[in-house]
């Protein structure tokens, strides 16, 4: 072999060795990265753990806080707001009523023609409009003028199927899904905003007066006859369909529950005892917090960066506004510390709230063998391409951990209410049904979440008792419920026929 040939052979061998060494190092590095990624996931899984014993502690804490909130104003993180709804719909309500439902990503307007005893809902129509982001943090007048204008447009389209007796004013049930300190069925002041709304000049103001002024500015002659939270509206709508409904839970952008309480068991109620002896309580359970809640560093960071730090902690663990953001935060950490998705963190992954719960839900439900939906979402939303199946599986695992924790905690919250009502066990000889009306986009569209909530509740109360507890989907019941309540609080006495 000549000198040149020997030299080339040596160089060739050296190149092969170097390449092999690089490959080994790369493999080592990538397996070390993967080990780090899996360690972060395992740690999250452990910290988000919700064994039954913990859920029982959460449920007990919920019951204790319910008592404290009923005892005195400010006695608990749970506001336990008095709704002034002491009579739920009977089915005898009659006439044309409107409802306006404000409180999430969209707002709805609807009209319903009620037929009175045995007449049911004769006719109904609705329109849904999304709320522009800038209105959620603008001024009071801009928000209320916008919704009043949409309502005016809708009223203008009223057809002949809807009949308002001559000389009567139109009446409206206003579903306003935020914490309101009510002073009567048709007045109340906003305590604080939640769910990304932040319009300072409304806090402390009477929201019915705000809306009424905006309706006047639109030249719309309409009286707000009932102001209700969405949970209270859902409870009313649910009761109309099923007399065994005693509580309602919303799982949507935010989360909350309302239930029927015995009026004499509300020490802070200083009014006359209602004839029915009952009062619907808006719990505002989104603000529940307890040392038993499995909070992680991601939750603390989400809370600190939110518009309402230190508040709505339960809501931030379980509701639709936040699940996607928690997953994004974990993914971001894995990308930073374990170079998942490459040496640099994909820029889109750093954008708060870019990953929404409908996206994580779609990824969680991906049953395709190569997790195509996950690949598509990562590409379309986060601009992350060329992901391996292993990486996509990791993403699904994260969605599962975060959704499971939320759903199981929601089930624990429901157990807390059942305990307060004394309905978590079977009483001898009683054949009692307990129906809970559930609504909200999260519950409706996130199947794994819904299944997990329902199976967890059965685990908590046992198969036997669970036969007496029914969770009923009350589809958009909050708007209809508000219309019913407008009817039962109408200024015209003949609206509610005697049964």
Residues known to be catalytic: 108, 177, 230
The H-or-E segment that residue 492 falls in is none
Across the chain, which distance is largest between two alpha carbons, in Å?
A: 114
- Nearer to ligand GLC among residue 144 and residue 288 (C-beta): 288
Q: What 3-state DSSP class applies to 114?
A: strand
Q: Can you read off the two tokens belonging to residue 6? A: 């020997």
- Nearer to ligand GLC among residue 99 and residue 335 (C-beta): 99
CA 238/CA 438 separation, integer angstroms = 9
Q: Smallest distance, Å, CB 154 to ligand GLC? A: 22
Q: Smallest distance, Å, CB 478 to ligand GLC? A: 8
Residue 414 contacts residue 472 (beta carbons within 8 Å): no
CA 185/CA 18 separation, integer angstroms = 79
- Per-residue buried b or exposed e for 246-258, using 16+ beta carbons within 10 Å of the residue's own CB: bbbbbbbbbbbbb
- Per-residue buried b or exposed e for 63-78, using 16+ beta carbons within 10 Å of the residue's own CB: bbbbeebbeeeebbbb
Residue 84: name the closest of 3, 152, 184, 153 by CA. Answer: 184
Q: Can you read off the two tokens belonging to residue 328? A: 């994004």
CA angle, residues 44, 317, 228, in degrees to nearest 5: 170
List residues near ligand GLC by CB under 6 A: 103-104, 177-179, 194-195, 229-231, 250, 252, 254-256, 284, 286, 315
Q: Which residue has the tokens 């395992």?
A: 42
CA 281/CA 257 separation, integer angstroms = 9
Residue 232 contacts residue 248 (beta carbons within 8 Å): yes
CA 457/CA 449 separation, integer angstroms = 12
Helices 357-364 and 447-466 cross at an angle (nearest 10°) of 70
CA 232 to chain centre: 14
């Amino acid at each position: 072999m000549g000198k040149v040939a020997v030299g080339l052979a040596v160089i060739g061998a050296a190149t092969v060795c170097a390449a092999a060494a690089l490959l080994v190092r790369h493999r080592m590095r990538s397996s070390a990265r993967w080990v780090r990624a899996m360690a972060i996931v395992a740690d999250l899984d452990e910290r988000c753990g919700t064994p039954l014993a913990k859920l029982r502690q959460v449920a007990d804490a919920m019951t204790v806080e319910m008592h404290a909130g009923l005892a005195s104003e400010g006695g608990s993180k749970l506001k336990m707001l008095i709704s002034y709804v002491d009579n739920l719909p009977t089915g005898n309500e009659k006439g044309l009523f409107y409802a306006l439902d404000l409180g999430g990503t969209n707002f709805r307007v609807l009209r319903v023609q009620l037929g009175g005893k045995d007449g049911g809902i004769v006719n109904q129509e609705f329109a849904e409009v999304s709320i522009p982001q800038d209105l959620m943090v603008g001024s009071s007048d801009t928000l209320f003028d916008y919704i009043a204008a949409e309502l005016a447009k809708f009223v203008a389209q009223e057809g002949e199927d809807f009949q308002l007796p001559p000389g009567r004013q139109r009446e409206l049930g206003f579903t306003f899904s935020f914490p309101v300190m009510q002073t009567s069925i048709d007045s109340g002041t906003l305590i604080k905003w939640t769910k990304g709304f932040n319009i300072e000049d409304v806090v402390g103001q009477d929201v019915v007066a705000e809306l009424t002024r905006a309706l006047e500015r639109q030249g719309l002659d309409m009286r707000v006859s009932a102001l209700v939270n969405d949970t209270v509206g859902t409870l009313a709508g649910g009761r109309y369909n099923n007399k065994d409904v005693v509580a309602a839970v919303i799982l949507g952008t935010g989360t909350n529950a309302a239930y029927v309480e015995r009026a004499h068991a509300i020490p802070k109620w200083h009014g006359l005892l209602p004839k029915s002896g009952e009062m619907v309580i808006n719990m505002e359970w989104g603000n529940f917090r307890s040392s038993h809640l499995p909070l992680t560093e991601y939750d603390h960071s989400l809370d600190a960066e939110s518009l309402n730090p230190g508040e709505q902690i339960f809501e931030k663990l379980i509701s639709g506004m936040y699940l996607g953001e928690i997953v994004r935060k974990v993914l971001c950490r894995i990308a930073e510390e374990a170079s998942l998705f490459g040496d640099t963190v994909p820029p889109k992954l750093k954008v708060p709230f870019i990953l929404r719960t409908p996206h994580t839900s779609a990824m969680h439900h991906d049953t395709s063998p190569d997790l195509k939906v996950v690949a598509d979402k990562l590409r379309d939303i986060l601009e992350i391409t060329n992901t391996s199946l292993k990486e996509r599986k990791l993403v699904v695992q994260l969605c599962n951990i975060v959704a499971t924790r939320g759903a199981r905690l929601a089930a624990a919250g429901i157990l807390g209410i059942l305990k307060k009502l004394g309905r978590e066990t079977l009483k001898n000889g009683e054949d009692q049904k307990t129906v809970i009306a559930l609504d909200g986009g999260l519950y409706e569209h996130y199947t794994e979440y819904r299944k997990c909530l329902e199976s967890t509740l059965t685990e908590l109360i046992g198969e036997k008792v669970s036969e007496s507890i029914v969770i009923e989907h009350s589809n958009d019941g909050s708007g209809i419920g508000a219309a019913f309540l407008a009817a039962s609080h109408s200024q015209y006495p003949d609206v509610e026929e005697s049964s």
